[in-house]
A and B are shown apart, each in its own frame.
Chain A
Amino acid sequence: EAQVTQNPRYLITVTGKKLTVTCSQNMNHEYMSWYRQDPGLGLRQIYYSMNVEVTDKGDVPEGYKVSRKEKRNFPLILESPSPNQTSLYFCASSLTIYHSGANVLTFGAGSRLTVL
């Protein structure tokens, strides 16, 4: 089944304890992206990657890191989490970087992170 898989789905951690949220897609997609969802703010892009070893900042990159060493994986790293990073995180991927009728983003199921 074609899908985007995120782990963990739920995580409670404490301030300053490094964590990684993994994202993997099995569709051979070039483009991958991370979003965070907060009440009243919708989804905002954190980082994106147009291909292996190519990453760039989205709208809210502060406090996050990413890497794209393999095409299928795009982990989100919080080096020193803070309570304002408590959120619902979504990974997404698409075949190419360009929108078209046949190329839309596929989203993972989400990872709910709580930082105490």
Chain B
Amino acid sequence: AQSVTQPDIHITVSEGASLELRCNYSYGATPYLFWYVQSPGQGLQLLLKYFSGDTLVQGIKGFEAEFKRSQSSFNLRKPSVHWSDAAEYFCAVGFLTGANNLFFGTGTRLTVIP
């Protein structure tokens, strides 16, 4: 069955520490990959996306993600977390066809402590 897995429901990091949020997918074809962030009371904002080419993609707010085909993973990283990064993060996959649907993971909630 097709699935997107974010194994960490909740992560707590100290401000200034590095961050890695995990995302694995299970699909037959190579999907398009996305990370979205949802701040409290807000909609979803696109952080970055991977369609093809360089497997290390840069996004907004200092985030980056690396696509590893052999591991079916698309982990999100940030070298130094800021208090304003506290939010919920969603990994999503999509396909070239299929009505532009995105399949979302269950999300990882990030808490940043001073």
Contact = CB atoms under 8 A, between A and B. Distances in A.
A101 B99 CA distance: 16
Contacts of B49: 101, 104
Given A99-B95, A107-B44, A110-B43, A40 B100 contact: no
A107 B46 CA distance: 9
A107 B32 CA distance: 18
A13 B4 CA distance: 33
Contacts of A42: 4, 90, 104-107
Contacts of A110: 42-43
B106 A44 contact: no
Contacts of A50: 99
B101 interface: yes
B107 A109 contact: no
A107 B106 CA distance: 17
Contacts, number: 63
A85 interface: no
A58 B100 CA distance: 11
Contacts of A79: none
A77 to B, nearest CB: 20
Nearest to B50: A101
Contacts of B92: 43
B106 A97 contact: no
Interface in A1-56: 4, 31, 33, 35, 40-45, 48, 50, 56
Contacts of B102: 43, 45, 105
B1 interface: no
A33 B102 CA distance: 10
Interface string B33-47: 010100000111110
A41 B106 contact: yes
13 contacts: A31-B100, A33-B101, A35-B104, A40-B106, A42-B4, A48-B101, A99-B32, A99-B100, A100-B51, A101-B52, A104-B46, A104-B49, A107-B44
